Amino acid sequence: MRFLAFALPLVALPALAVLPATSASAVAAPVTVARYTFDAGTTDTSGRGVKLRIRTADGGRINFNGTTADKYAAFPAPCVAPATTCPRALLEGTDDPDLDPGARMFRWGATVRLTAAQVVGSSNVVQKGVVDTESQWKLQIGANQGKAHCVLVGRGSTQIYLVRSAVGVADNKWHTIMCQRSGTRLSVYVDGQDRGRITVPATLSIANDLPLRIGGPNFTTTSDMYHGLLDDVYARLG
């Protein structure tokens, strides 16, 4: 896990305190349903998720670099023109119902480090579902200005809800990014600061039968693969 030199508000901390219920109607405490720090390779550290499978194409590989106690994942470099065969790799989980939040409050995020040259198309960091399936939640880095994007598509609709951060993150520095859907609000946080928000329908519901994927949506030639360094990927209900 990367540790950055600034104070983060409680909402952005990777671990949230579990508060005791004060009544039968008390709001349920947040629950981390998947977390991958890569200190133990692809093992989930939340106790609820599954070990990720490394999938590769055309000689791609994912390296786990860093110290013994603090590792991060390094994804393949972008393809260099005029090459037609490009190494690609992603991490894949399962179709876990804990990752189908419906219309409940949901947070997902990661710590990223990449350069502008590593952003080719939209770099997909973590997602469940793709845009033309039943529904989707996603974190990506946009190509034009290297801003963090949080994306939602609800069941029964093709409407894409996307909020962009006001600041770029493709500057070869570590940045924590968190997406948060709470009721009618979809927000993006960068390094603990609220950097953008949009309104979404209160009834927008997310559930699909696709697996969790980190580092890319698939292996088609136009896939929006992630090409930088990655740490502490998580999803949290509540």
d(C-alpha 129, C-alpha 155), whole Å: 11
d(C-alpha 180, C-alpha 68), whole Å: 31
User: Model's pTM, two decimal places?
Assistant: 0.88
Residue with the larger pLDDT of the pair 27 and 94:
94
d(C-alpha 181, C-alpha 105), whole Å: 5
Q: Tell me which fold the domain 39-237 belongs to.
A: Jelly Rolls (2.60.120)
User: What pLDDT score was predicted for residue 221?
Assistant: 67
CA 135 to chain centre: 16
User: What pLDDT score was predicted for residue 27?
Assistant: 56
- Answer positive or negative: Cα dihedral of 24, 100, 97, 108: negative
pLDDT one-digit tens code per residue, 140-181: 999 889 999 999 999 998 899 999 999 999 999 999 999 999
pLDDT one-digit tens code per residue, 198-224: 999 999 999 999 999 999 998 876 679
Give 201's contacts (C-beta < 8 A, 6+ positions apart).
154, 184
d(C-alpha 213, C-alpha 218), whole Å: 8
pLDDT one-digit tens code per residue, 2-57: 645 434 344 444 443 343 443 333 456 899 999 999 999 999 999 998 999 999 99
Domain boundaries, the chain: 39-237
